[in-house]
Amino acid sequence: MDKKIPIVHPLIDEYMLALLPKRDGILREMESYARRKKFPIIGPLAGRVLAQLAMIQKPKRIVELGSGFGYSAYWLAKATPSTTKIFCSDGDENNYQKASAYFKRAGMSRRIKYFVGDALDFIDQFEDDSLEFILNDIDKEDYPAILAKAVRKLKKGGLLVTDNVLWSGRVLHRHPAERSSQAIKVFNRVLFTSKSFFSTILPVRDGIAVCVKR
Ligand SMILES: C[S@@+](CC[C@H](N)C(=O)[O-])C[C@H]1O[C@@H](n2cnc3c(N)ncnc32)[C@H](O)[C@@H]1O
């Protein structure tokens, strides 16, 4: 197992969390469900980063790869007008069921479509050079493959936002043993060497890569 280290000092994390205004009832319920089930959601600090990027970008469509039970999509939906359509995807039918129930309660069902299946296939349905905002949070082993597809689908100026790019510090290993760590290291290297992107990594929670397509 590759060794982990904290990305953000736990006291700084605690401080930043304490600054956040109280989330609405559905978000708090989702957070407590994730805690109970040990389901890896992006959490409120990264949720606000997504929301802020969506507020700035004002996309007409958002494509989410790895939607889980809808927590990150909920943040994106709250940050954008009802004319913004959100296309979720996840390989697990149970996540779809759970997400649909939350979206229905929040009155978001009409603007959110949820595809059950492999995100690597799902993204193919979109035209090249057409997307303004992609959130990537699928299995880490698939990051290099999804990057190759995402870069084609984004329009110039479009954003690819990716969670977990610091992978609990496992990216520090020179020769990581785990495939997930290896894949994230490849992904990050491409982000910063590709002429197609202007990239930064925000060390929020587990590391968020923000890439603008050039
Ligand atoms: C970290 S969770 C997503 C959490 C979600 N973004 C949130 O913050 O609320 C990753 C999800 O991606 C899904 N997943 C992983 N690899 C996938 C793939 N290749 N295609 C579709 N879904 C995938 C898993 O089923 C899991 O629900």
Query: CB–CB of 186/179 below 8 Å?
Result: no
What's the pLDDT tens digit per position in 7-26?
999 999 999 999 999 999 99
Residues present in the chain in total: 214
Tokens coding 148: 């190759």
Q: Is the pLDDT of residue 132 over 90?
A: yes
**pLDDT score of 157:** 98
Q: Using most ligand atoms within 8 A of CB, pick from 139, 161, 167 the residue to mutate for ligand 1.
A: 139
Rounded distance from Cα 67 to ligand 1 centre (Å): 5
Buried b / exposed e over 108-138, threshold 16 CB at 10 Å, is: beebbebbbebbbebbeebeeeebbbbbbbb
Question: What's the predicted TM-score (pTM) here?
Answer: 0.97
Mean pLDDT of 168-172: 96
12 CB-contact burial (10 Å; exposed 0-12 / middle 13-18 / buried 19+) = exposed
* Interatomic CA distance for residues 82 and 107, integer angstroms: 10
Q: Which residues contact 125 (CB under 8 A, 6 or more apart)?
A: none
Q: Is the pLDDT of residue 130 over 90?
A: yes
Task: Looking at the CA of residue 71, tell me the nearest atom of ligand 1.
Answer: 9
Q: How many CB atoms are located within 10 Å of the residue 2 CB?
A: 17
What's the pLDDT tens digit per position in 29-53?
999 999 999 999 999 999 999 999 9
Domain 10-213 belongs to what architecture?
3-Layer(aba) Sandwich (3.40)
Which residue type does 4 have? K
Domain boundaries, the chain: 10-213
